[in-house]
Amino acid sequence: QVQLVESGGGLVQAGGSLRLSCAATGRILSIPTMAWYRQTPGKQRELVASITSGGATNYADSVKGRFTIVRDNDKNTVYLQMNSLKPEDTAVYYCNADRIVTIFRTSFDSWGRGTQVTVSS
């Protein structure tokens, strides 16, 4: 089976930085798009950033210029470098893969368990 495992969340002061990691495990052949979403209580889960296997990126307006998404295709890992963090960035951050192709099957819309990011004022 394929799993997405996030790490790197924690507590940081406003203006600080964190780097989130998400590793896809399994006999993976390809993942066309990987992304980070976030969700707070009472709010819809929202896209933070996405990146294709070719390196094309997309960011939410609220994080442009502050967050950077990168991936290592050989390691099937995506990272989210978060700089100049604000209290409003506080949320559970989830890793997502639109499609995970393995030697056994193709999985669609896969999610990690989430990692908490808390930014204090």
- Across 36-40, average pLDDT: 97
Q: Percent of the chain scored above 90 by pLDDT?
A: 87
Q: Please give the pLDDT value at position 114.
A: 97
Q: Cα(49)–Cα(68) distance, rounded to whole angstroms? A: 8
pLDDT at 42: 87
d(CA 30, CA 100): 6
Note the pLDDT tens digit of each residue in 1-29.
Answer: 788 999 999 999 999 999 999 999 988 98
In whole numbers, what is the pLDDT of the chain averaged over residues? 95
- In this model, does residue 119 exceed pLDDT 90? yes
Determine the Cα–Cα distance for residues 2 and 68; give it in Å rounded to an integer: 25
Residue 93 has pLDDT above 80, yes or no: yes
**E runs forming strands in the chain:** 3-7, 10-13, 18-25, 28-30, 33-39, 46-52, 57-59, 67-72, 77-82, 91-102, 106-111, 115-120
pLDDT band, residue 67 (cuts 50/70/90):
very high
Neighbours of 48 (CB within 10 A): 24
